Chains A and B, each alone.
Chain A
Amino acid sequence: MNPLIEVQNVVKYFPIPGTRAVVQAVNGVSFSLRRGETLSIVGESGSGKTTVGRCVLGLIKPTSGRIRFNGRDMGQHWDVRSRDLRGKLQLVFQEPGESLDPLMPVHKSIEEPIRATIVSKKERDRKIQKVTELVNLPLSLLQQYPAELSAGQQQRVAIARAIITDPELLVLDEPTSALSPTDRADIIDLLIRIQQELSTAYLFISHDLSTVYHISHRIAIMYLGKIVEEGDSREVFRTPHHPYSVGLLSSVLLPSPDLRRETTFVLEGETPSPVNLPACCPLVSRCPFRIDRCGQAFPEAEAVTPAHLVHCFRHREVSAAEHATHTFERFQSITEEILSVPGV
Chain B
Amino acid sequence: MALIRQARDEPLSVGSKKPVLETDNLTVSYRPYGLPPVEALRKVNIKIAPGEILGLVGESGAGKTTLAKAIMGVIAKPGVVESGRLLFNGTNLFQLSEEKLNQLRGASISIIVANPRGELNPLLMVGQQLANIARIHMRVSARQARQLALDMLKAVKIPDPVRRFRAYPHELSGGMAQRVVIAAGLICSPQLVISDDATSGLDVTVQAQILDLLKKLARERQTSMLYITRDIGVAANFCDRIAVLYKGEIVEEAPTGAFFEGPSHPYGNLLLAAFSHNSVLRKRWSTELEQLQKRETPALACLFVDRCPLRQGRCWQEHPELRDLTPGRLIRCHYPVLRHRP
Query: Is A252 in the interface zone, CB < 8 Å from B?
Result: yes
Q: Who on chain B is nearest to A137 by CB? A: B289
Question: Which residues in B have their C-beta under 8 angstroms from that of A336?
Answer: 276, 278, 281
- Least distance between B117 CB and chain A CB atoms (Å): 14
Known: A181-B232, A253-B237, A270-B173. 13 other contacts (CB 8 A): A44-B206, A185-B282, A253-B208, A255-B236, A257-B8, A257-B257, A262-B5, A269-B159, A339-B273, A339-B278, A341-B269, A341-B337, A344-B337
Contact A266 B1 (CB under 8 A): yes
Instruction: Given the known inter-chain contacts A181-B232, A184-B274, A270-B173, please indicate yes or no for A251 contacting B208, CB distance below 8 A.
Output: yes
Q: Which A194-211 residues have a C-beta within 8 angstroms of B?
A: 207, 209-211
In the assembled complex, the Cα of A269 lies from the Cα of B8 at a distance in Å of 26
Question: Which residues in B have their C-beta under 8 angstroms from that of A209?
Answer: 204
Instruction: Given the known inter-chain contacts A180-B230, A344-B337, please indicate yes or no for A251 contacting B205, CB distance below 8 A.
Output: yes
Of B1, B207, B269, chain A has the most CB atoms within 10 Å of the CB of B1
Instruction: Given the known inter-chain contacts A270-B176, A271-B203, please indicate yes or no for A256 contacting B231, CB distance below 8 A.
Output: no
Query: Is B285 in the interface zone, CB < 8 Å from A?
Result: yes
Q: Convert B225-240 into 0s and 1s, putting 1 for each residue whose CB lies closer than 8 angstroms to a CB of A.
A: 0000011111111100
Q: Convert A246-282 into 0s and 1s, putting 1 for each residue whose CB lies closer than 8 angstroms to a CB of B.
A: 0110111111111010110011111101000000000
Contact B208 A185 (CB under 8 A): no
Contact B205 A44 (CB under 8 A): yes
Question: Which residues in B have their C-beta under 8 angstroms from that of A211?
Answer: 277
Q: Which residues of B contact A (CB under 8 A)?
A: 1-2, 4-5, 7-8, 59-60, 159, 173-176, 203-209, 230-238, 256-257, 260-262, 269-279, 281-282, 284-286, 290, 293, 309-310, 337, 339
Instruction: Given the known inter-chain contacts A45-B174, A253-B234, please indicate yes or no for A181 contacting B279, CB distance below 8 A.
Output: no
- Least distance between B198 CB and chain A CB atoms (Å): 15
In the assembled complex, the Cα of A310 lies from the Cα of B315 at a distance in Å of 55
Question: Which residues in B have their C-beta under 8 angstroms from that of A120?
Answer: none
Query: Is A119 in the interface zone, CB < 8 Å from B?
Result: no
In the assembled complex, the Cα of A267 lies from the Cα of B293 at a distance in Å of 48
The size bracket of the interface on A is 35 or more
Query: Is A80 in the interface zone, CB < 8 Å from B?
Result: no
In the assembled complex, the Cα of A269 lies from the Cα of B208 at a distance in Å of 11
Minimum-distance CB pairs A-B, first 5: A44-B203, A253-B233, A181-B274, A251-B208, A335-B276
Contact B204 A270 (CB under 8 A): no
Question: Which residues in B have their C-beta under 8 angstroms from that of A266?
Answer: 1-2, 209
Contact B237 A344 (CB under 8 A): no
Contact A339 B8 (CB under 8 A): no
Question: Which residues in A have their C-beta under 8 angstroms from that of B279?
Answer: 185, 189
Partner of B277, one of A185, A256, A260: A185
In the assembled complex, the Cα of A263 lies from the Cα of B231 at a distance in Å of 22
In the assembled complex, the Cα of A247 lies from the Cα of B174 at a distance in Å of 19
Question: Which residues in B have their C-beta under 8 angstroms from that of A210?
Answer: 233, 275, 277
Question: Which residues in A have their C-beta under 8 angstroms from that of B235?
Answer: 255
